[in-house]
Structure 1
Amino acid sequence: MTIAIDDPKRTGYAAEVVANTFLTMARAEGRDLTQMQVHKLVYIAHGFTLALLGRPLIYNTVHAWRGGPVVRRLWQHWGERGTRPIDGELPVSAGEPDLGTDAEALEVIRSVWANYGCMEGEELSRLTHRSGSPWSQTYGLPTDLIPNEITREYYTGLARSA
């Protein structure tokens, strides 16, 4: 079962908004990001937002695919891009809120960037594939969705051990 991305009860931001935030941070440092890096950074930030703020960062569903946690909306933009750097920002639908006034969410994103932004895609992938991770708990199940509750529990444990 998936939640429609236009669900009026949704909470959080469009994954594209969060992805663009990471892309902007990378460009400010003269760096490029691959689609794998952005997928993993968005997911890690989502996990820590669930754990630390008690709310989702993104309203999009996250799927446990062979390559790890994937937000289908982001995959639809990049597809099989591989390791080629992403050029330009993703289009954001009209009316989507931005992160501009959400100081708490921006702080989590900045912290994720400071701690994980320097990692290559494969290294980030290994982190999200660890034993006990939300991906490892859900990959191969009949539904490929990674529930927010499993993600929250896992990242709460990581936040406590940090």
Structure 2
Amino acid sequence: MTIAIDDPTRTGYAAEVVANAFLELARTEGRKLTQMQVHKLVYIAHGYTLALLGRPLMYNAVHAWQRGPVVRQLWQHWGERGRVPIAEPLPIATGEPELNGDREAMDVIRSVWNGYGGMDGGALSGLTHRAGSPWSQTYGLQDNLIPDEITREYYTRLARSA
């Protein structure tokens, strides 16, 4: 399966790689996640990685859709699943780097999992829809993209206030 890259000059991992990290964390706890939970966890981890490590976690573009931040590639895999739990990891394109050796990124992912992994999709969506959030700043704009800079600024403020 070939997975399109939004912008090959961006750094980070494929969204599918990050999503699989969360699916694996859930699996090790005997849990399953819905597509909404995975979307939000991936986005929150991306935000904290931008804020804490100064680099993107994923290279895929994030869109401000009605139900919150969405990575189109993940939506293409699960868009119609609704609240049906995801049973299997996503396929990863040949040559995509894995997170295995990136201890810093995995630390952020584990931290996000520990802080947010127990929340359902609706609660996570509520977090990403808060006033002042990157989604609230960009939803309804013509290109509906959420720039990494807006995400980094927002999650830097959250990290400082924690």
TM-score for the superposition, normalised by structure 2: 0.96
CA deviation after TM superposition for structure 1 residue 33, in Å: 0.1
Q: 1:53 aligns to what?
A: 53
- Aligned AA for 1:34? T
Deviations along 1:65-104, one digit per CA (max 9) or x if unpaired, are: 0000000000000111100000100000000000000000
Question: Per the alignment, in what secondary structure is the counterpart of residue 142 of structure 1?
Answer: coil
Q: 1:43 aligns to what?
A: 43
CA distance in 2: counterparts of 1:19 and 1:8, whole angstroms:
19
**After superposition, where does 1:21-100 map in structure 2 within 5 Å?**
21-100=21-100
CA distance in 2: counterparts of 1:13 and 1:132, whole angstroms:
27
Deviations along 1:17-67, one digit per CA (max 9) or x if unpaired, are: 000000000010000100000000000000000000000000000000000
CA 1:68–1:23: 2 relative to 1, 3 Å: same
- Aligned AA for 2:100? G
Q: 1:15 aligns to what?
A: 15
The total of aligned residue pairs comes to: 159
CA distance in 1: counterparts of 2:5 and 2:125, whole angstroms:
25
CA distance in 2: counterparts of 1:68 and 1:96, whole angstroms:
26
Identity of aligned residues (%): 75
For structure 2, the 5+ residue unaligned runs are: none
Conserved 8 A contact 2:45-2:112: yes
- Aligned AA for 2:110? R
Conserved 8 A contact 2:6-2:60: no
TM-score for the superposition, normalised by structure 1: 0.96
RMSD across aligned C-alpha pairs, in angstroms? 0.9
For structure 1, the 5+ residue unaligned runs are: none
Residue 81 of structure 2 is aligned to residue 112 of structure 1: no
CA distance in 2: counterparts of 1:107 and 1:87, whole angstroms:
24
